[in-house]
Amino acid sequence: MENYNIKTLPSILRGLYATPIICELSKNNVFSKETKKINKENCSKLKNKFMLNLCSEYLSQLKITENIKNEWFLTDVGYEIFRRSNSFFVPHSYRNVVLNLGEILKGKKKIENIKIDRKENILGSGLTHLRYFYQPLNFCKSFKDFDTLIDLGCGNGDFIKLALKVKKDLKIVGIDLSNDSVRTCKKNLKKYICHKKSIIFNSDISKVTYWKKKSSRILKNSNPIISMWFMLHEISDHKVKNVKNFLKKVYKNFPKSSLLIGEIIKHDNNILKEIHENSLMPEYLFFHKLSGQGILSWDDYKSLLVDSPYLLEYEWKFDNENSKKIPSAFVWILKPKKIIETKNIKLWKLTK
């Protein structure tokens, strides 16, 4: 007889209801993440109190909320879920694809015509990426020779905002293919950047000579560091050689600049089966494949360092608790080989 886990059925069905409820309550700041208590001021802005109470009651059955003296609170588990609720936003932004799955399967609707919730996608991506920013930014504090940040795929601008806390006088170049992202980034950074020392605009990041020329006012006489958060899979088209060619173009145009790269990794099915109970990677890889994004394997990414104009200076791995110890995401700091070789020659001459 086949083994049957009695928890599987409800846990799979639950996502249909729990995910949108968590996303919407989180976006409307219904619960205070500091006190776990329901935020009455924010709740007063929501008109349908019946639905709000019904959602809170449903979440209590899942032990996410609890009612104490006629007031709703987050449980300890609920606190952790809402603290990380941004992880639900990006998969949830693709909900219309799933809701129209019947029409897509029958060929009555095309995936490319299904509307993705871009605002939720941008919000979720920005908040999810925050966890990767802090360690490399602290590491970059030791870099004294860069005065400009070029952020390829600037999204909502959160990384730029944090970078400005590390170096207040940074000149900023923010580039994103999405007009929505550019608008959001400009809005979020309005208080933090000076127009004379920054430019944020729409562009395909693979067109290096174009965005370099468009940024020339800021880049003149500058020493930039170039960041690209989860952008390589956008330009790979599932081929390592495309990413290699892109990195060579970046090096040709910015031969002295270090690179700060964050990427998500494509796991094989065996690892996904192994980690599915405590990981959202099956869902993340599902919608990345759905939108045609060329996520590469860990071996593919490591091969980028072979015959590369860059050397790996530092590496952070995230979520590698599986039998093969392959991370779900990583962050690299790459330095141009020529810079390192020049320094080594100088040291050799001094010690000779």
Angle at 258 between CA 188 and CA 223, to 5 degrees: 75
CA pair distance 327, 329, nearest whole angstrom: 5
Q: Which domains does the chain have, with CATH numbers?
A: 1-83 (1.10.10), 122-351 (3.40.50.150)
Q: What is the CA radius of gyration of the chain?
A: 23
Residue 61, both tokens: 């059955």
Residue 124, both tokens: 């979720």
Instruction: Give residue 89's pLDDT.
Output: 92
Chain segment 194-247, per-residue pLDDT in tens: 778 999 999 999 999 999 999 999 999 999 999 999 999 999 999 999 999 999
Instruction: Give residue 347's pLDDT.
Output: 47
Q: What Å distances lie between residue 31 and 20, 74, 76, 248, 291, CA to CA?
A: 15, 7, 13, 47, 32
Q: Is 256 helix (H, G, I), strand (E, B) or coil?
A: coil
Instruction: Give residue 189's pLDDT.
Output: 92
CA pair distance 131, 223, nearest whole angstrom: 26
CA 41, 42, 45, 48 torsion-angle sign: negative
Residues of the chain with pLDDT under 50: 1, 345-352
Please tell me the pTM assigned to this model. 0.85
Q: 200 - beta bridge partners?
A: 174
- Of 265, 341, 351, 271, the residue nearest 309 (C-alpha): 341
Instruction: Give residue 4's pLDDT.
Output: 59
Instruction: Give residue 237's pLDDT.
Output: 93
